[in-house]
Amino acid sequence: MEVEWVQRVPVHTERMREIRETAEKLDIYLTCHAPYYINLNSPDFVKLQASKKRILDALSMSELAGIKSVCVHPAFYMGMDSKKVFETIRKAIDEIMKQKDKLFPHVNLALETMGKPVQFGTLKEVLEISREFGIYPAVDPAHLHARSNGGLNTKEEWTEMLDTYEKYVGKESLKCMHIHFSGIAYSIHGERRHLPLLESDARWQDFLDVLKEMKVGGTLVSESPLLEEDTLRMKRYYETVRYC
């Protein structure tokens, strides 16, 4: 289950203990979505500091709530050169990761692959930073499908995507992935909005086949507007797929 802190991070630590105990009792694996109002490439110092604080708050509250991984939309390019932006993000992540031992020793910081070409977050960008800091990204194949205006929608392409993932962050990391999936509407400008699976062009069954074939473990969060319905649709299909 994904805990939605997309508007703001809660402040009551007692409530975090309740979340942790409930999740443990029901054996539910928790991830979290950090607030949308984050731009680690903001030229405005105040906004940059506020972005870092939101990420640190989400990570430290997740530590208390027993949440395993926190996904973050890292930044916008703001018309700047992507290599320069990469360095800026790297530096911000470095500062955040310096607090890991103190604030969030058991929580993963998952930079998300993003759906619009104006957003920082190609697969290679998030993998490169993740490798450096010993973390793993939130892989959203629907975003990558939209970002490339219809690419990444076949078994071959998803296999290649996971091979790349493995090459960067290691074989073991395939066993505890943080994945998002949904249908998606897009244009040459990338993502427009998320769609229910059956109203989209997503070859979602093929995607689940690939996860099974490559023995991928971890968690897959449904980001469909038909949240529960599509979660069950994917779960039921996944359970029918046999290992090759």
Residues that bind Zn ion (CB under 5 A): 112
Written as six digits, the tokens of 59 are: 């990570």
Minimal distance in Å, beta carbon 120 to Zn ion? 13
Q: Which residue is nearest to Zn ion (CB)?
A: 112
Question: Among residues 112 and 209, whose Cβ is nearest to Zn ion?
Answer: 112
Question: Among residues 57 and 112, whose Cβ is nearest to Zn ion?
Answer: 112
Placement of tokens 């949904």 in the chain = 182
Task: Give 97: exposed, middle or buried? Use CB within 10 Å, 0-12, 13-18, 19+.
Answer: middle
Backbone φ, ψ for residue 158 (5° rounding): -70, -35
Question: Among residues 61 and 209, whose Cβ is nearest to Zn ion?
Answer: 61
Question: Among residues 29 and 36, whose Cβ is nearest to Zn ion?
Answer: 36
Torsion, Cα 172 92 66 173, to 10 degrees, reads -10
Minimal distance in Å, beta carbon 154 to Zn ion? 23
Element (H, E) at 191: strand 190-195
- State the Cα–Cα distance between residues 52 and 75, nearest whole angstrom: 11
- State the Cα–Cα distance between residues 125 and 123, nearest whole angstrom: 6
Minimal distance in Å, beta carbon 34 to Zn ion? 9
Output DSSP code: residue 4. E
**What's the N-to-C CA distance of the chain in angstroms?**
28
Minimal distance in Å, beta carbon 14 to Zn ion? 28
Minimal distance in Å, beta carbon 191 to Zn ion? 10
Question: Among residues 63 and 112, whose Cβ is nearest to Zn ion?
Answer: 112
